[in-house]
Amino acid sequence: MAEYHILLAREYGFCFGVKRAIKLAEETIRSGIKIASLGPIIHNPLEVERLKNMGLRVIGGIEELGPDESLLIRSHGIPLDLLNEIKRKNINIIDATCPLVARAQHMVEFLFSEGYKIIIIGEDGHPEVKGLVSYGGGNISVVSSPEAIPDITPNDKLGIVGQTTYPVDKFVEIVKEITGRGWEIRVFNTLCDASRKRQGAVKELADQTDVIIVIGGKNSANTRRLVDIAESEGVDVYHIETWNELRSNWFLNKEKIGVTAGASTPEWVIENVLEKIKELCSQ
Amino acid sequence: MAEYHILLAREYGFCFGVKRAIKLAEETIRSGIKIASLGPIIHNPLEVERLKNMGLRVIGGIEELGPDESLLIRSHGIPLDLLNEIKRKNINIIDATCPLVARAQHMVEFLFSEGYKIIIIGEDGHPEVKGLVSYGGGNISVVSSPEAIPDITPNDKLGIVGQTTYPVDKFVEIVKEITGRGWEIRVFNTLCDASRKRQGAVKELADQTDVIIVIGGKNSANTRRLVDIAESEGVDVYHIETWNELRSNWFLNKEKIGVTAGASTPEWVIENVLEKIKELCSQ
């Protein structure tokens, strides 16, 4: 049997904010505190199921909270009025709001206090955006296309904040449309670069390997993007959702095997894939 | 002889800042105060000659100033260290710095005091830009193309100011390249919209007239732009430098005659053209 090496991409899988939220949930459960999460903690049914089995309840509103339960705020954050209601009801909070989201909320609050007309570049109705909007005191627009930009008069001072997961190219395009209008635009770059870093890392990985396994949902946009990038680098690429799909002939005469994963792929799924690759290569 | 109307474009000729500087020079001379201008007051030899004949001297440096002369600062403004030197020497100043340029200088000073890394979008070496740079305390870049953008690190807060006469499309293009880099960008829209307004006005004029006379240098870029816009609106267009070029057959069977002028065309040249048109139409 030939020698082989498995290399993991420098950045892959869950973003920092989601990892942190899951860790907070697990630690809280282990410490014996009962918790319920307001909405699913991540858009991955397998991972939500795993946490439910550990003891995490998922609720749709705070009225469903049991008298002895603490409330987990997921990484997206929640609107200010809801937060105030929770505090008024003296509910114990486990706050897993992503620090990057919390910072974006803070910047909206700051721009509001400084009298800026606020524009949030993001998807209207997205849970994170609902939270951001709530810090803007009402005079605020959510813009996801140049057509949605509100009227701007020559003396306007505009404060701009982005939804953390918004694609940078779309963000730049909308800022461009606003530039040169109004008197001042003040743009805070609240975008998270997790996706961009994952994409850079798979490119780097392709330079060092002969074959790349990309783990993630077949209809996950960010996972497909990783596949496309790896393919354009000229290595063999296989896109799988679970370890059952791995085939031993993919690794024949391959010395360096790369592994990466899309944003909704839990760590334990990735670990199972790594184990299975080792098994197939050792046969 | 048929009835005719002459319509002037809503905006044409000298910009507000240049008109104001010339008026200040004329008023000062009329009041009996001797003045010398630091550099030519406008890039139009005919107009400079006219002002020289009134009594305005043009000098290349403050050492050329006579003991009984006041110093005229032209619309571009001057660098802060030169201004301080003039003040130290107790020279009387007639400050014709364009208020829009003065505001841009003030914004650079403000951004410097707030700790921003400053980028001036404009032509390096232009007199106005030299003035703007002098208010930035040294840590400042002049950028006229995306390639000239300085290194930006993720925590940078960038303050951006434009040379007042810089084209808005180029300004927007450079801001776009900076957006999404650094933590904050704060952009002050210090661009003067005189050119844009002149262009909008000639379009409007073309809708109301049968023939348009555009006055301005044959190699003046902003005058050519006015000609192109008028032509694209489907009216007859004639581009002249002086009234001698006007021909009576241009106005045959034309009821509505439009007149506009490029940025370096003095008011008195325009008035002579208007007189000559009336003369030709009344024959």
The answer to whether residues B276 and B208 belong to one domain is yes
Tokens found for residue A271: 């670990």
Report whether pLDDT(B1) > 60.
no
DSSP code at position B146? G
Mean pLDDT value of segment B156-164: 96
Give me the pLDDT at residue B211, please: 96
The answer to whether residues A68 and A120 belong to one domain is no
| The one-letter amino acid at A93 | I
Q: Helices A16-30 and A45-54: crossing angle, nearest 10°?
A: 20
Say how many C-beta atoms besides its own lie within 10 A of residue A252's C-beta.
11
Whole-prediction pTM value?
Answer: 0.82
Q: Are B32 and B69 in contact (CB under 8 A)?
A: no
Final residue of a structural domain among A162, A188, A214: A188
Report whether pLDDT(B72) > 90.
yes
What mean pLDDT is reported for chain B? 93
The answer to whether residues A125 and A152 belong to one domain is yes
| Cα–Cα dist B228/B73, whole Å | 35
Sheet containing B57-59, strands listed edge to edge, beginning at the edge strand earlier in sequence: B57-59, B34-38, B69-73, B93-95
The answer to whether residues A206 and A145 belong to one domain is no
| Cα–Cα dist B129/B131, whole Å | 5
Give me the pLDDT at residue B42, please: 81
The answer to whether residues B9 and B67 belong to one domain is no
Residue found under tokens 């057959």: B249
The answer to whether residues A183 and A244 belong to one domain is no
Task: Tell me how many degrees the CA angle A15-A123-B178 measures, rounded to the nearest 5.
Answer: 75
Catalytic residue among B47, B49, B109, B128: B128
| Cα–Cα dist A47/A55, whole Å | 13
Query: Under an 8 A CB cutoff, do B187 and A188 touch?
Result: no
Tens of pLDDT, residue by residue over A58-99, are: 999 999 999 999 999 999 999 999 999 999 999 999 999 999
The answer to whether residues A183 and A113 belong to one domain is yes
| Cα–Cα dist A278/B8, whole Å | 83
The answer to whether residues B131 and B162 belong to one domain is yes
| Cα–Cα dist B184/A48, whole Å | 36
The answer for A 218-277 residues in CB contact with B (under 8 A) is: none
Instruction: List the single residue in A with minimal CA-CA distance to B104.
Output: A183
The answer for A 182-221 residues in CB contact with B (under 8 A) is: 182-189, 191
Q: Which residues pair with A69 in a beta bridge?
A: A34
Report whether pLDDT(B3) > 90.
no
The answer to whether residues A225 and A274 belong to one domain is yes
Domain range for residue B174?
100-188
Tens of pLDDT, residue by residue over B110-152, are: 999 999 999 999 999 989 999 999 999 987 999 999 999 999 9
B255 catalytic, yes or no? Answer: no
Number of domains in chain B: 3
Report whether pLDDT(B182) > 90.
yes
Q: Which of B176, B185, B188 sits opposite A183 (nearest CB)?
A: B188
Give me the long-range contacts of A237-240 (CB less than 8 A, separation at least 24). A237/A211, A237/A212, A238/A211, A238/A212, A238/A213, A238/A214, A239/A214, A240/A213, A240/A214, A240/A215, A240/A273
Report whether pLDDT(B215) > 90.
yes
Give me the pLDDT at residue A1, please: 52
Q: Which of A172, A180, A182 sits opposite B168 (nearest CB)?
A: A180
Query: What's the sign of the alpha-carbon dihedral A112, A113, A115, A116?
Result: negative
The answer to whether residues A66 and A107 belong to one domain is no
Tens place of pLDDT for every residue, chain A, 283 residues? 568 899 999 999 988 898 999 999 999 999 999 999 999 888 777 788 999 999 999 999 999 999 999 999 999 999 999 999 999 999 999 999 999 999 999 999 999 999 999 999 999 998 999 999 999 998 799 999 999 999 999 999 999 999 998 888 889 999 999 998 999 999 999 998 887 899 899 999 999 999 999 999 887 777 888 999 999 999 999 999 989 999 999 999 899 999 999 988 898 999 999 999 999 998 7
Q: Residue B118: enclosing H or E segment and its boundaries?
A: strand B117-121
Query: Under an 8 A CB cutoff, do A175 and B175 touch?
Result: yes
Final residue of a structural domain among B77, B98, B119: B98
B contacts of A188 (beta carbons < 8 Å) = 183-184
Report whether pLDDT(B180) > 60.
yes
Q: Which of B176, B183, B189 sits opposite A176 (nearest CB)?
A: B176
Q: Are A257 and A228 in contact (CB under 8 A)?
A: no
Of B11-20, B62-71, B260-269, highest mean pLDDT: B62-71
Residue A18, Cβ density class (10 Å: 0-12 exposed, 13-18 middle, ≥19 buried) = buried
Final residue of a structural domain among A72, A98, A124: A98
Report whether pLDDT(B278) > 60.
yes
Give me the pLDDT at residue B2, please: 65
Query: Higher pLDDT residue, B47 or A275?
Result: A275
The answer to whether residues A122 and A54 belong to one domain is no
A110 reaches B (C-beta below 8 A): no
Number of Cβ pairs < 8 A linking chain A and chain B? 58
Give me the pLDDT at residue B45, please: 77
Query: Under an 8 A CB cutoff, do A187 and B187 touch?
Result: yes
| Cα–Cα dist B245/B272, whole Å | 12
By C-alpha distance, which of A249, A250, A251, A269 is closest to A260?
Answer: A269
Give me the pLDDT at residue B139, please: 79
Give me the pLDDT at residue B44, please: 77
The answer to whether residues A227 and A245 belong to one domain is yes
CATH number of domain containing A204: 3.40.1010.20
